[in-house]
């Protein structure tokens, strides 16, 4: 795909947003807020700021519907991006370089500054055409999604300002699809971050000491990683399963020890576990307990994060929200593949509060590069995504009144 000769205004705006360094650990949130406030003025729409934590502000741009009593549509995106290893990038990750093929490189090109601008430009297009819809449309721009969302959407959904938005249905981010199709996510795996502590007898490194922390740790590692291998095999042997359908386990930290010649009194291992909504969480935690008991006396575990909500959004043909979304995509000749999201997004907090939400980023024919080196999005794919949202937003905002809304 060749690049376009001159940047269209939407592409220029996208590249401008990519240049704002909202990268952890010190994201320029002030720069992003000023950028979004400017866009609200351009659109002629009111902008509200809600500080959910000190230094953590959510921006909401609202396009009021003709019947504001109806439940609204939420278009959510996060403003922060993950760190980069610049030595592995072919271009400056914050320069938004566009190459001869029209590929735009930058941290956040896929995750998810593209979607933010696609929302904005779709709204701009619809307003310029004089369109108006019964349901109110809210665009929310939230911080800290990339570090767990606790100082962003997780807090916001519990506040009165969120309840006042009167949400009926939400859209949030998805993933790119390397094929011609598009992936839609109707649920997410729960995130468990577990640390296992293995106490043992200390002593001099020259002796065969009994009941050491290392012996217990080895048993812990074997139990967790043997289970990991079983799930990996199950995924690889089934054509029906996707990554979101199995439980992943990854060792992320090993801690302990004071000197090379001292057997430590404690060693710790931490794991990142992602559990699909089909798994019985109590049964799975009971299995962790057994693994720790089998490892030896005194082995204990604790959670650094423990998601327990297993809510999924309906993708039944009878569901009015899904019917509107999927039928619109069908009219656009878009082939959809429905999956459980393998990682975690702010959608999980929205669903946990009882609101249906779909994860969707209109990026096909695109390698999945979120959090990777040389993250890019082709401008033609980006521009096509605007047209897709310009069809989806009206369809969702005109869903007829549902039971209890009139």
Q: CB-based burial of residue 77 (10 Å sphere; 0-12 exposed, 13-18 middle, 19+ buried)?
A: buried
Q: Are 57 and 51 in contact (CB under 8 A)?
A: yes
Q: What is the pLDDT of residues 204-218, one digit of tens each?
A: 999 999 999 999 999
**Catalytic option among 111, 121, 144, 145:** 145
> Which tokens hold the place of 221?
């590692």
CATH number of the domain at 9-174+345-397, please?
A: 3.40.630.10
218-244 b/e (C-beta count within 10 Å ≥ 16 → b): ebbbebbeebbeeeeeeeeeeeeebeb
Higher pLDDT, 279 or 4: 279
Question: How are beta strands 203-204 and 262-263 bridged, if at all?
Answer: antiparallel
User: Tell me, what's the pLDDT at 173?
Assistant: 98
Q: What is the pLDDT of residues 276-301, one digit of tens each?
A: 999 999 999 999 999 999 999 999 99
**Catalytic option among 80, 111, 173, 339:** 80
Q: 292: Cβ–Cβ under 8 A, 6 or more apart, which residues?
A: 196, 220, 299, 300, 301
Q: How confident is the model at residue 149 (pLDDT cuts 50, 70, 90)?
A: very high
User: Tell me, what's the pLDDT at 114?
Assistant: 98
Per-residue pLDDT for 122 more than 60? yes
Per-residue pLDDT for 2 more than 90? no
Q: How confident is the model at residue 147 (pLDDT cuts 50, 70, 90)?
A: very high
Q: How confident is the model at residue 404 (pLDDT cuts 50, 70, 90)?
A: confident
Q: Are 19 and 94 in contact (CB under 8 A)?
A: yes
Domain range list for the chain? 9-174+345-397, 190-306
C-alpha closest to that of 351 among 404, 246, 277, 402: 277
Percent above pLDDT 70 for the chain? 98
Percent above pLDDT 90 for the chain? 97
Per-residue pLDDT for 5 more than 60? no
Distance in angstroms (rounded) separating the CA atoms of residues 378 and 2: 9
229 carries an active-site annotation? no
Per-residue pLDDT for 136 more than 80? yes
Distance in angstroms (rounded) separating the CA atoms of residues 287 and 166: 40
Q: How confident is the model at residue 1 (pLDDT cuts 50, 70, 90)?
A: very low
pTM value surpassing 0.75: yes
Q: What is the pLDDT of residues 222-262, one digit of tens each?
A: 999 999 999 999 999 999 999 999 999 999 999 999 999 99
Per-residue pLDDT for 17 more than 60? yes
Q: CB-based burial of residue 385 (10 Å sphere; 0-12 exposed, 13-18 middle, 19+ buried)?
A: buried
Q: What is the pLDDT of residues 323-381, one digit of tens each?
A: 999 999 999 999 999 999 999 999 999 999 999 999 999 999 999 999 999 999 999 99
215 carries an active-site annotation? no
Beta partners for residue 185, in sequence order: 339, 359
Q: Are 174 and 184 in contact (CB under 8 A)?
A: yes
Q: What is the pLDDT of residues 66-113, one digit of tens each?
A: 999 999 999 999 999 999 999 999 999 999 999 999 999 999 999 999
The average confidence (pLDDT) of the chain is 97
Q: CB-based burial of residue 189 (10 Å sphere; 0-12 exposed, 13-18 middle, 19+ buried)?
A: buried
Q: Are 375 and 104 in contact (CB under 8 A)?
A: no
Task: Let me know if domain 190-306 sits in CATH 1.10.3720.10.
Answer: no
């Amino acid at each position: 795909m060749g690049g376009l000769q001159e940047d269209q205004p939407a592409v220029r705006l996208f590249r401008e947003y990519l240049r704002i360094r909202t990268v952890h650990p010190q994201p320029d949130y002030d720069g992003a807020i000023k950028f979004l406030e400017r866009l609200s003025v351009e659109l002629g729409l009111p902008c509200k700021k809600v500080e959910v934590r000190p230094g953590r502000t959510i921006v909401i741009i609202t396009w009021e519907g003709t019947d504001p009593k109806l439940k609204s549509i939420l278009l959510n995106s996060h403003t922060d991006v993950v760190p980069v290893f610049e030595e592995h990038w072919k271009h400056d990750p914050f320069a938004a370089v566009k190459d001869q093929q029209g590929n735009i490189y930058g941290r956040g090109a896929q995750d998810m500054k593209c979607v933010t601008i696609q929302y904005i430009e779709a709204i701009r297009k619809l307003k310029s055409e004089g369109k108006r819809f019964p349901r109110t449309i809210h665009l929310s721009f939230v911080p800290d999604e990339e570090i767990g969302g606790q100082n962003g959407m997780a807090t916001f959904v519990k506040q009165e300002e969120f309840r006042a938005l009167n949400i009926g249905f939400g859209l949030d981010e998805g993933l790119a699809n390397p094929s011609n199709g598009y992936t839609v996510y109707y649920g997410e795996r729960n995130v468990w971050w577990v640390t296992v502590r293995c106490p043992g007898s200390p002593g001099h490194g020259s002796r065969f000491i009994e009941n050491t922390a290392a012996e217990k740790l080895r048993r812990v590692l074997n139990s967790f990683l043997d289970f990991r291998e079983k799930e990996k095999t199950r995924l690889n042997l089934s054509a029906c399963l996707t990554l979101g359908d199995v439980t992943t386990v990854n060792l992320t930290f090993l801690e302990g020890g004071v000197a090379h010649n001292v057997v430590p009194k404690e060693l710790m291992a931490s794991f990142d576990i992602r559990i699909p909504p089909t798994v019985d969480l109590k049964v799975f935690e009971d299995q962790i307990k057994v693994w720790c008991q089998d490892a030896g006396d005194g082995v204990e575990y604790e959670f650094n994060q423990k998601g327990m909500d297993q809510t999924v959004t309906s993708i039944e043909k009878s569901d009015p929200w899904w019917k509107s979304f999927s039928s619109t995509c069908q009219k656009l000749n878009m082939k959809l593949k429905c999956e459980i999201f393998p990682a975690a997004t702010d959608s999980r907090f929205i669903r946990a509060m009882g609101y249906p939400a779909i994860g969707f980023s209109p990026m096909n024919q695109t390698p999945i590069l979120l959090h990777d080196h040389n993250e890019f999005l082709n401008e033609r794919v980006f521009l096509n995504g605007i047209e897709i949202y310009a069809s989806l937003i009206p369809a969702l905002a005109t869903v007829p009144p549902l039971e209890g809304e009139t």
